[in-house]
Amino acid sequence: MKLYENTAAALSRMLTKEEVSAVEVAQSFLERIGDLDPLLKAFVTQTPDIALKMAADVDQRRKQGESLHPLAGVPIAIKDNICTEGIKTTCASRILSNYIPPFDATVVRALKAVGMPLLGKTNMDEFAMGSSTENSAFFTSRNPWDTGRVPGGSSGGSAVAVAAGMAPLALGSDTGGSVRQPASFCGLIGLRPTYGLVSRYGLIAFASSLDQIGPLALTAEDAAMLLGVIAGYDRLDSTSLPEDVPDYHRELETDIRGIRIGLIRENVDQQFDREVNAAVKKMLTVLEQNGAVIGEVSMPLTDYGLSAYYLIAPSEASSNLGRYDGVRYGYQSAGRHLEEMFSNTRGEGFGAEVKRRIMIGTYALSAGYYDAYYLKAMQVRTMIRRDYETAFKSYDLILGATTPTPAFKIGEKTDDPLQMYLSDVCNINDALAGIPSISVPTGLHSSGLPMGMQISAPPSGEKLLLKVAYFLDGQSRAFPQRPQLKTSEGGCN
């Protein structure tokens, strides 16, 4: 087995035993990136020199007998909306195409502190607004299971990197499904943490009351290890939770007896792909056979979540993106006067989807419409949160499909924004409620594409989510963990 084919946990064990060096591990992934990224386009910026330097430092510290974190020497890829000091952070937008932050995001500082080499910054939908990475200002990332299909979004590049073996771990951000949906499309574990568990300091904002950074990984064990690194209180983030963080990795176990799990009745319906529904029900049977208590739960306001989200998130975006004016930093266009320069800068610097959401949000916040749109959406958000509170009185976890269908074809939905928005219909409500949820692979569709199941928990319920995901990892999966890529042909099986 080649080094890049290993999980993060397996690499950790090999590094700890000094069976391989961190430099050898980094080189293996860098070579894999060199082979595959020209086809799959996962990375906006590659940082091989930084990765090798950080890896060499880990090797030196280990030789000196220093006690290191289990993930020391395990490389990682980072979504390009998370600030990295001295490395371009573009948000896949022309308006930030040459922006180099003077500081690291809190999560990046945490990764550096434990010695995880940085492989590069991954492609995404511009400012995290999208479900396919087709909204990137630079290029569309390709799903390694089928290069004619999208990898999901907005953290598509991170998902591609992990699925194709170009990185053992990656960070994404999830505003309304942007970690979980690409995880489902690429056959990965994708975790959206409780709002406030992971610091947002240094995450370039889309919708501040919804954004969360989360891990993309091949296994639940890998995700647990990475979450343990990035979680925790941060005084630089006013929304950070002042709570102790458990050792998610050490507390993993496979005993699920007695866990009460409710299937969301409205989540698995006739509009979903039949094989997606069948895969979810098959996983429920596995859980029940191993001691979980299975039932059904109704979430009456599920149908309203998408509408509420697409008022709240664009409203916050219209405020957050007001800072990109061509004066303080970022792209600047020409103009005969200041107002024209502002207009040209934003017109040329933002893509079509970002402009669409800014206009929706500005309209929803404008005088005369605020009460009718934004305020009503916030009231619906409160009611959705109460739906979850009611459901969690009867069940420890609730679940359903992560996405209504497997990955769709590149270009299939670009001319119909509403259809694109509907691809996130399963993920929106968890984000509005601020609760943690995880996407777990359920098998392969007859098309050969992965499918996923989403499990949700009450706030700070990550330990239970990872426990169930870890149990499912131990079951026999009906598909290989990674797509079989032919690097010599530059294509996929």
pLDDT, block means (10 residues), the chain with 493 residues: 95 98 98 97 98 98 97 98 98 96 98 98 98 98 96 98 98 98 97 98 98 97 98 98 94 94 83 93 96 94 92 97 89 90 93 96 94 96 96 97 96 93 94 98 94 97 97 73 59 41
Determine the pLDDT at residue 480.
Answer: 59
Instruction: Give the span between the Cα atoms of 249 and 352, in whole angstroms.
Output: 42
**Residue 475 tokens, joined:** 């079951």
Sign of CA dihedral 149, 185, 46, 174: positive
Determine the pLDDT at residue 185.
Answer: 98
Determine the pLDDT at residue 300.
Answer: 85
Secondary structure (3-state) at 475:
coil
Determine the pLDDT at residue 491.
Answer: 41
Superfamily of domain 3-264+393-492: Amidase signature (AS) domain (3.90.1300.10)
Determine the pLDDT at residue 233.
Answer: 98
Instruction: Please report the beta strands in 301-420, taking only residues with DSSP state E, as ranges in sequence order.
Output: 397-401
Sign of CA dihedral 421, 266, 364, 153: negative
pLDDT, tens digit, 9 for 90 and up, residues 101-126: 999 999 999 999 999 999 999 999 99
Cα pseudo-dihedral 446, 448, 453, 454, rounded to 10 = -140
Q: For residues 252 and 424, is the Cβ–Cβ distance under 8 A?
A: no
Determine the pLDDT at residue 271.
Answer: 78
Contacts 24+ apart (CB under 8 A), 82-86: 82/107, 82/108, 82/121, 82/171, 82/173, 82/202, 82/203, 82/204, 82/213, 83/108, 83/202, 83/203, 83/204, 84/108, 84/118, 84/121
Comparing CA positions, the residue from 423, 428, 441, 421 lying closest to residue 388 is 428
Instruction: Please report the beta strands in 129-247, taking only residues with DSSP state E, as ranges in sequence order.
Output: 169-174, 189-192, 212-217
Instruction: Give the span between the Cα atoms of 35 and 227, in whole angstroms.
Output: 29
Domains of the chain, residue spans: 3-264+393-492
Residues marked as catalytic: 79, 154, 178
Instruction: Give the span between the Cα atoms of 86 and 53, in whole angstroms.
Output: 15
Determine the pLDDT at residue 477.
Answer: 58
